[in-house]
Chains A and B, each alone.
Chain A
Amino acid sequence: GAGVSQSPSNKVTEKGKDVELRCDPISGHTALYWYRQSLGQGLEFLIYFQGNSAPDKSGLPSDRFSAERTGGSVSTLTIQRTQQEDSAVYLCASSRNYQPQHFGDGTRLSIL
C-alpha cells in the first residue's frame, strides 16, 4: 500500500520567508511525527500527534516552528521567518498505536 508521502520533496527559499511542509500519513495511522536531519547530524525529534490528544511539542527548536494536523490525517509543519540554520531534511513518520514508525523520504529544505 501507499507509504508516508511528503511534499514538496525539495524546497529552496530565501532567508526570512515562511515555508510550509506537508505530510500525508499512511491511512489508518493515528500517530504522526516530525523529525529533522541536519547535514552531518542525527535525526532530531520535533513534534508528535496522537489522535485527539494535545501534541507533544517538546522538540520544536523555537517559536518560529509550528505544526498542525487537520482531521486526524494530513499534517503541515510551518517555519516562519526562516534562517539558514533551518536548512535540513524534514522527515515525517506515522504509526498505528504501539507499532513501529514508518517514515517518508522527507523534504529537503535549503535556505539561501
Chain B
Amino acid sequence: DAKTTQPPSMDCAEGRAANLPCNHSTISGNEYVYWYRQIHSQGPQYIIHGLKNNETNEMASLIITEDRKSSTLILPHATLRDTAVYYCIVGLYNQGGKLIFGQGTELSVKP
C-alpha cells in the first residue's frame, strides 16, 4: 500500500502558485520523498525529490516539514500545461526499484 495521503483533486488559477500537499506520517529516517506527475496519455514524469532539506529545481520547489511527516510541492507559476495527476511517493534512495504509486492529486489549472 502507498505510504502517502494526498487530496484527490485541486484547482489552481493560471499564473498563480499551485501548492500540493502530501502526508507521509510513517516515513522512516532514510526514506526520500519523490514527486512525479502524469499528463493525460503520457508516462509519469519525474519532478523533484528530497530527504529533509527543501529542494528547488527548474520545475518546482519541495518543502518538507521539520518532522518529515508532510511535504508540499510548489509550482510557482502554474500554466495550463501543468494540468496533470501529481503523485507523492516515499521510498529509499537505493530502493532498488519499485515505486508504490497512490491515487495522486488531480490538479486542474484554469484560465
Chain A interface (Cβ within 8 Å of chain B)? 4, 31, 33, 35, 42-45, 48, 50, 56, 58-59, 91, 93, 97-98, 100-106
Contacts and interface: CB of A to CB of B under 8 A. Distances in A.
B102 interface: yes
B100 interface: yes
A46 B101 CA distance: 12
Nearest to B41: A105
Given A100-B34, A100-B49, A43 B96 contact: no
Nearest to B44: A103
A87 to B, nearest CB: 16
B103 interface: yes
Given A42-B103, A42-B104, A100-B49, A105 B96 contact: no
A56 B101 contact: no
Contacts, number: 52
A56 B96 contact: yes
Given A35-B99, A43-B101, A59-B98, 10 more contacts: A4-B43, A42-B102, A43-B99, A48-B96, A48-B97, A50-B96, A50-B97, A102-B46, A103-B43, A104-B43
Chain A contact residues: over half helix, strand or loop, or mixed? strand
A91 B97 contact: no
B97 A98 contact: no
A72 B43 CA distance: 22
B101 A103 contact: no
A53 to B, nearest CB: 9
B30 interface: no
Nearest to B45: A103
Interface string B34-77: 10000001111110010000000000000000000000000000
B44 A43 contact: yes
